[in-house]
Structure 1
């Protein structure tokens, strides 16, 4: 049996995958939606980048999971990519869902023009609050879905964004699928484009926005199951 471990991006917890879980379970997979420290029901726990990596590794090891597909959405591609390396032979595949990817020695905020995020961290005591509703327009989300992200989402702990990733090998050496959500921009980020040159990576496109677990949950579940079936 394949074991999926699903990790959502900034501000989100395990709850973000509620509509994806049924499709994977119907396909016969074991599924674990994981909340990272400092978010959702774990919002009171201190968290840095290394904490988030250990959250994922610890979950896999405590449950003695093998044949694991790690799924990282958006921000969480950074800790998921590091955790994938650390779980070694337990890993079947990584799926990066419209996410950043880790580069050794570089933090999440180095991957894009992050001045606005840094100002937000300074203004909110080291936390990154969910974006205002208007920032989610054009991403195929309903008003209700946007309201849920903004109101249920948790301010994201800043240390997870500023601490550097630690990798022994380039992320392109992992067996991976990258899911590009086209409404969030047609081209992958440079670090992703570099990794996609690897023969161990493949690219899948979705004609939806940056949060496909809300906008296209059944389609996303099917793509994840297909990714798990790749050699």
Structure 2
């Protein structure tokens, strides 16, 4: 059994992970999915990591840290502070040491301009009622401290996997394949989903996360 610390993306909430949590718990795992203080102008990446570390508490026996989208900036900071066995980034931003969130897109050569409203960009493959609920659960994303350099000094010495969605309209697969290779030197795994697979493909994503745990256990 593993404990999954599930980190949501920008302007979101722990609710985002609720379907994946049910799937993982059905497979015998434990989960935590805290709300980050993303709507607090006084909070930055350190405070985001604080929220995750508090939620993890003493569940450090077999900890898997999972970051979605902007959560990719928080996840490696958590791995620096608690003993994790695995780091998984889903449709992520993959930070370089000392990089500010606001510099990420220029630094990675991001030139995409996804058209459409929030549902069209983030939830195009999510059932309509669930997509509407996701919008309702969304929160304001403060940008007050996103221009600060990340406190990350080096990538944590934890096995790392990246999952991308083949139909992601925000981070298209060709872009994320390149960034994953350039920054981590690995090849991402791919699933048939848009930017939010925890809602559109929760069973498939949970099965992939479970398979990672099994692979680590065999090493």
Band of TM-score, shorter chain: 0.7 to 0.9
In structure 1, the partner of 2:23 is 23
1:208 to 189, 193, 214: 193
Under a length normalisation based on structure 1, what TM-score does the superposition of the two structures give?
A: 0.78
Matched, 1:175 2:159: yes
Compared CA separation, residues 5 and 175, structure 1 to 2 (3 A): same
In structure 1, the partner of 2:47 is 51
In structure 1, the partner of 2:103 is 110
The separation in 2 between residues aligned to 1:37 and 1:140, in whole angstroms, is 27
Aligned length: 203
The separation in 2 between residues aligned to 1:141 and 1:153, in whole angstroms, is 15
Under a length normalisation based on structure 2, what TM-score does the superposition of the two structures give?
A: 0.82
1:193 to 173, 181, 188: 181
Compared CA separation, residues 142 and 38, structure 1 to 2 (3 A): same
Compared CA separation, residues 113 and 147, structure 1 to 2 (3 A): farther
Compared CA separation, residues 182 and 134, structure 1 to 2 (3 A): closer
Note the C-alpha offset of 1:45.
8.2
Q: Secondary structure at the match of 1:230?
A: helix
Q: Secondary structure at the match of 2:77?
A: helix
Whether contact under 8 Å (1:212, 1:220) holds in the other structure is yes
The Cα offsets for residues 59-113 of structure 1, whole Å up to 9 and x where unpaired, read as 33x33422100010000110111211232xx211011001012211111222215
Matched, 1:75 2:70: yes
Computed over aligned residues only, the root mean square deviation of the Cα atoms, in angstroms, reads 2.3
The separation in 2 between residues aligned to 1:72 and 1:145, in whole angstroms, is 21
Compared CA separation, residues 98 and 132, structure 1 to 2 (3 A): closer
The separation in 1 between residues aligned to 2:177 and 2:46, in whole angstroms, is 23
Whether contact under 8 Å (2:95, 2:104) holds in the other structure is no
Note the C-alpha offset of 1:194.
2.1
The Cα offsets for residues 31-64 of structure 1, whole Å up to 9 and x where unpaired, read as 111211245xxxx68421211122223333x334
The separation in 1 between residues aligned to 2:67 and 2:33, in whole angstroms, is 11
Note the C-alpha offset of 1:15.
0.8
Structure 1: state its 5+ residue gaps. Answer: 115-130
Matched, 1:5 2:5: yes
In structure 1, the partner of 2:121 is 135
